[in-house]
Amino acid sequence: MDNDLNRLLAQEEMDKTKLDLDSLENTQPQPRRILGESSTTTHTYRLYCKGLVSEELVKDDTMLVGGLGLSLCDSHDNTKLEINKALRNEELSHPEAAALAAIIHGLKWALELGVQSIQFFCDDNILGYVTRKAAPSESIVATLLEQVALLQTRFTSCQALAVSKDIISVYKLAKDAIASQTRWCEGDTNTELESCPVCYAYVSPHDKFEVRGCFHRICVTCMRERVSPKLIRENTLTCPYADCEEELVPEDCRGIADDDVITLMIHSKKEREIPVSERVYCPNPSCSLLMSDRELIRHAPGSSIDPRQSAARKCTECGLSFCKNCHVPWHHKKTCDEFKNSESYLKSEAALFESLVKTEGWRKCSKCETIVQHGGGCQQMTCTHCKHEFCYTCGAACKKKKLTCKCVRSGKRATK
């Protein structure tokens, strides 16, 4: 075990370079032309840095692992060069120290490339330290700040600024550097393996799924269990890594789930984004598109109809004009009650369905009108669509997780 970890920590990373803070003061930059610019002495570059430290599972052990990502851009924010490295100095286990180490290495890298004018971007707390507006409490942070100040003097112009744009690509570079340190080789064929942080199985790096946003790497088996239809219907699907709340992107899951599951994920995500009071479904059985009522108002049929005073809506997918209240094709010049008493309605599929609902004893959610079927047991129900809680016997809403009616949880009305 110890030998395996020692070999892991000794492996060369992305560009085979180790950060050596002790050598910074003796570094003599060698200016040279880079990046296709006419001169690195007249152009101001932008440096984006990210240093991260995280607790990672390496084989059967949990350990702190650090990595940094760097992106050098021109003055128009066009990326010119990117690199990432492992942080291995034990003193860099502090998050702020890792952030400063990334800046130090980034400035050193820029000097080696011949850059003389630079702007580097960092988070607000680090910017406060660099600009001397705040004092660090950790001695290692104070030491690293002195290194930053020393490197700043080697440029003709060096300005520290707050990050004002999304630097997710730099964050990913740092996470990749961390991930590269969690692998080891086994067997005669030197098969490369990683631990899954969810099920703890040893798997090939190729059998891992990387969650967008948090970049946690989970084995495909665990991810397939995560995107099961039951969980999709009941919850917002998030990364299965412990305590991670990053939501899964449906399009990213196409390699681990079939088309029906992806469609369900997209539908569930859209449903959560639309307030319950604005959810409207197309009554066309072959369509059933979920839409926001605000969007439907813009597509209300007939220019003579004021959508703010009418229940007329038009499906944005199949084009069906329908009544928002009745959930049937639009009944022009008739009220909902008049239409429901008409012969055309009584022969419609909508009327047949309403009859089935009554015959089967099903109940509609009083909040979103979704049909809720009772599977037996407790009469206190929760709508799977809007999470509204109500009594299945009489339909009364619950308050504070308790029935407000005279019905009992067994389904029988209380007797005096």
Q: pLDDT tens for residues 102-133?
A: 999 999 999 999 999 999 999 999 999 999 99
Position of tokens 């067997």?
A: 187
122-131, 272-281, 312-321, 368-377, range with greatest mean pLDDT: 122-131
Are residues 297 and 254 located together in one domain of the fold?
Answer: no
Residue 78 has pLDDT above 50, yes or no: yes
| Residue 93 confidence class, pLDDT cut points 50, 70, 90 | low
Are residues 48 and 170 located together in one domain of the fold?
Answer: yes
User: Which pLDDT score, from 0 to 100, does residue 328 have?
Assistant: 80
Q: Name which of 172, 146, 192 is nearest 24 in CA terms.
A: 146
In the numeric block, which tokens belong to residue 255? 């390699």
Domains identified in the chain, total number: 4
Are residues 87 and 108 located together in one domain of the fold?
Answer: yes
Are residues 261 and 300 located together in one domain of the fold?
Answer: no
Q: Of 223, 241, 273, which residue constitutes the final position of a domain?
A: 273
Domain assignment present for 62? yes
Domain assignment present for 361? no
Domain assignment present for 313? yes
Q: What would the mean pLDDT of 357-373 be, rounded to a whole number?
A: 77
Q: Of 299, 317, 341, which residue constitutes the final position of a domain?
A: 341
The distance in angstroms from the start CA to the end CA of the chain is 72
Which has the minimum average pLDDT: 9-13, 127-131, 222-226, 291-295?
9-13
Cα–Cα distance, 309 to 331 (Å, whole number): 15
Cα dihedral 326, 332, 333, 335, rounded to 10, equals 0
Cα–Cα distance, 246 to 237 (Å, whole number): 9
What is the number of alpha carbons within 13 Å of residue 158 lying toward its C-beta? 20
Domain assignment present for 233? yes
Q: What would the mean pLDDT of 88-110 be, rounded to a whole number?
A: 86
Residue 304 · residue 337 · CB < 8 Å = no
Strands 117-122 and 44-58: parallel
Are residues 26 and 146 located together in one domain of the fold?
Answer: yes
| Residue 46 confidence class, pLDDT cut points 50, 70, 90 | very high
Domain assignment present for 160? yes
Are residues 150 and 260 located together in one domain of the fold?
Answer: no
Provide DSSP, 316-363. Answer: TTT--EEETTT-SB--TT--HHHHHTSHHHHTSHHHHHHHHHHHHT-E
Domain assignment present for 416? yes
Are residues 146 and 204 located together in one domain of the fold?
Answer: no
Are residues 15 and 156 located together in one domain of the fold?
Answer: yes
Domain assignment present for 254? yes
Strands 191-195 and 202-203: antiparallel
Residues of the domain holding 409: 374-416
Which one has a higher pLDDT value, 1 or 238? 238
> Hey, how many other C-beta atoms are within 10 angstroms of the C-beta on 399?
9
What is the rounded average pLDDT for all residues in the chain? 81
Residue 412 has pLDDT above 80, yes or no: no
Are residues 249 and 336 located together in one domain of the fold?
Answer: no
Q: What would the mean pLDDT of 63-80 be, rounded to a whole number?
A: 94
For residue 258, give the DSSP letter. Answer: -
In the numeric block, which tokens belong to residue 22? 């002790």
Per-residue pLDDT of 160-176, as tens digits, reads 999 988 899 999 999 99
Cα–Cα distance, 71 to 368 (Å, whole number): 49
Are residues 329 and 261 located together in one domain of the fold?
Answer: no
Domain assignment present for 71? yes
Residue 178 has pLDDT above 60, yes or no: yes
Query: 296 burial class (0-12, 13-18, 19+ CB within 10 angstroms)?
Result: buried
Q: What's the CATH code of the domain at 105?
A: 3.30.420.10
Q: What would the mean pLDDT of 351-379 be, rounded to a whole number?
A: 77
User: Which pLDDT score, from 0 to 100, does residue 310 have?
Assistant: 77
Backbone phi, psi, residue 242, to 5°: -55, 125
Cα–Cα distance, 367 to 381 (Å, whole number): 13
Residue 295 has pLDDT above 50, yes or no: yes
Q: Of 273, 306, 330, which residue constitutes the final position of a domain?
A: 273
Are residues 46 and 156 located together in one domain of the fold?
Answer: yes
Are residues 67 and 151 located together in one domain of the fold?
Answer: yes
Residue 373 has pLDDT above 60, yes or no: yes
Per-residue pLDDT of 239-249, as tens digits, reads 999 999 999 99
104-108, 231-235, 305-309, range with greatest mean pLDDT: 104-108
Ranges of beta strands (E only) in 74-173 are: 79-87, 117-122, 157-162
Q: Name which of 413, 387, 414, 415 is nearest 401 in CA terms.
A: 387
